């Protein structure tokens, strides 16, 4: 038995010096995160944001109505093989970037199938998307729920439901979704206040706290969800891409989300933008980007660790790739490469580009969707 040592570490959201922990061999790193990064909101099957060059929308509902989709997202969701491949690439990318927890929306069965392909898996929150549209109905989610619930009952992953938004799901669907979530781990996510205030409508439909399930709103650009006792996941990159603005303070925010991980990368790839948008101290940013998501979703984090060569400032600005990633005391990434199968971050980025091309040809016109700018290019 050896020891991992690091000059500086972020341990449970606190910056400390002189870190030591048991490991299978002696190793020294400049920076260690305990636990690793968390991504509190990710759509793993999104390969097309429906972007229009030079266009920004007022809110999410206007974007959904007016976006230019090249790829048929319903067909992608229904093709279990394609959807699971995209989920697999999302999870591999996450591990290679140092993200040890993902909250995934999209197709439940596809996400679970992809998860079981990995020998060492990230921790997951499984929140299948529901809305009153063909391809996203609650009935389809119920079918997947019954198929996979026993597979993820060991506590390593948690299950709930993601109600797309108050404007895309009726009151009956919302209430039945809460009932379904209570059969799992009692978690309900939803987009809220994404360019338009919805807090009063939220209170009309769901009432005042306490709620029968744990509700986790996402975006909250225009609503202070602390008013109803909730904490939010912020996705500043897609907020700026789509609407030209985002929240300017971490008040009421417990976690960051990538939103479109295949197109934009997971949380670490957004850190430069996050550091520019939010002026809170480095330790606060680090806490929100790491243990914040774990605590928000009530996920255990014993045995999760990410190690880097480089200084903390560079690590928390996304300049440094991890050398070592451990989840649940199992090594997922060693010397910068996934252990099984042997894949580097450059490999997975290439495979993602190829997959987007294949999906565009299979479920679109063959034209490539407009790729969003990288988070660092928005600075």
- pLDDT digit string, tens, across residues 172-221: 999 999 999 998 889 999 999 999 999 999 999 999 999 999 999 999 99
Alpha-carbon span 96 to 100, nearest angstrom = 9
Alpha-carbon span 126 to 113, nearest angstrom = 12
Alpha-carbon span 277 to 238, nearest angstrom = 13
Give, as one character, the DSSP assignment of residue 298.
Answer: T
pTM for this prediction: 0.97
> Mean per-residue pLDDT for 364-379?
91
Closest Cα to residue 107, out of 132, 82, 70, 133? 82
CB 234 within 8 A of CB 39: no
321 domain-assigned: no
313 domain-assigned: no
342 domain-assigned: yes
Percent of the chain's residues with pLDDT above 90: 91
CA distances 52 to 73, 238, 285, 352, 372, Å, are 17, 14, 32, 22, 10
Taking all residues of the chain, what is their mean pLDDT, rounded to a whole number?
Answer: 96
Q: How many domains does the chain have?
A: 1
What is the pLDDT, as a whole number, of residue 241?
A: 98
CB 218 within 8 A of CB 235: yes
Structure-token pair, residue 181: 């979530």
Q: How confident is the model at residue 153 (pLDDT cuts 50, 70, 90)?
A: low
The domain spanning residue 46 has which CATH number? 3.20.20.140
26 domain-assigned: no
Structure-token pair, residue 72: 């048929």
Give, as one character, the DSSP assignment of residue 195.
Answer: S
What is the pLDDT, as a whole number, of residue 154?
A: 64
CB 270 within 8 A of CB 97: no
Alpha-carbon span 70 to 325, nearest angstrom = 36
245 domain-assigned: yes
Host domain of residue 167: 37-292+338-378
- Taking 70 as the threshold, does the pLDDT of residue 353 lie above it? yes
- Taking 90 as the threshold, does the pLDDT of residue 321 lie above it? yes
Percent of the chain's residues with pLDDT above 70: 99
6 domain-assigned: no
7 domain-assigned: no
Handedness of CA 343, 346, 349, 350 (dihedral sign): negative
């Amino acid at each position: 038995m050896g020891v991992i040592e690091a000059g500086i570490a972020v341990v449970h959201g606190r910056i400390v010096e002189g870190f030591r922990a048991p490991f299978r061999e002696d190793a020294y790193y400049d920076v260690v995160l305990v636990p690793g990064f968390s991504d509190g909101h990710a759509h793993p099957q999104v390969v097309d944001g429906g972007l229009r060059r030079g266009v920004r929308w007022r809110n999410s509902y206007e974007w959904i109505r007016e976006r230019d989709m090249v790829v048929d997202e319903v067909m992608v969701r229904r093709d279990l093989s394609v959807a699971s491949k995209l989920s697999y690439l999302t999870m591999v990318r996450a591990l290679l970037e140092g993200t040890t927890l993902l909250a995934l929306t999209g197709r439940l069965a596809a996400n679970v199938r992809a998860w079981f392909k990995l020998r060492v898996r990230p921790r997951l929150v499984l929140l299948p998307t529901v809305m009153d549209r063909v391809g996203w109905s609650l009935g389809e989610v119920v079918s997947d729920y019954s198929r996979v619930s026993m597979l993820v009952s060991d506590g390593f992953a948690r299950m709930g439901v993601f109600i797309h938004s108050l404007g895309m799901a009726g009151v009956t669907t919302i209430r039945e979704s809460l009932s379904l979530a209570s059969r799992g781990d009692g978690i309900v996510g939803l987009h809220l206040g994404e360019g338009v205030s919805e807090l009063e409508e939220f209170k009309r439909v769901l009432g005042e706290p306490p709620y029968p399930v744990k509700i986790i709103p996402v975006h909250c650009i225009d609503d202070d969800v602390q008013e109803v006792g909730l904490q939010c996941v912020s996705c500043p990159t897609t907020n700026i891409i789509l609407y030209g603005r985002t929240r300017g303070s971490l008040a009421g925010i417990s976690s960051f989300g990538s939103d479109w991980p295949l197109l934009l990368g997971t949380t670490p790839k957004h850190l430069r933008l996050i550091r520019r948008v939010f002026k809170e101290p480095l330790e606060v940013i680090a806490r929100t980007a790491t243990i914040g998501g774990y605590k928000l979703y009530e996920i255990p984090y014993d045995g999760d660790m990410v190690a880097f060569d480089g200084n903390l400032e560079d690590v928390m600005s996304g300049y440094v790739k991890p050398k070592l990633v451990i989840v649940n005391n199992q090594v997922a990434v060693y010397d910068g490469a996934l252990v099984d199968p042997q894949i580097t971050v450059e490999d997975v980025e290439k495979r993602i580009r190829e997959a987007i091309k294949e999906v565009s040809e299979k479920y679109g016109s063959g034209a490539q969707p407009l790729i969003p700018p990288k988070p660092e290019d928005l600075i």
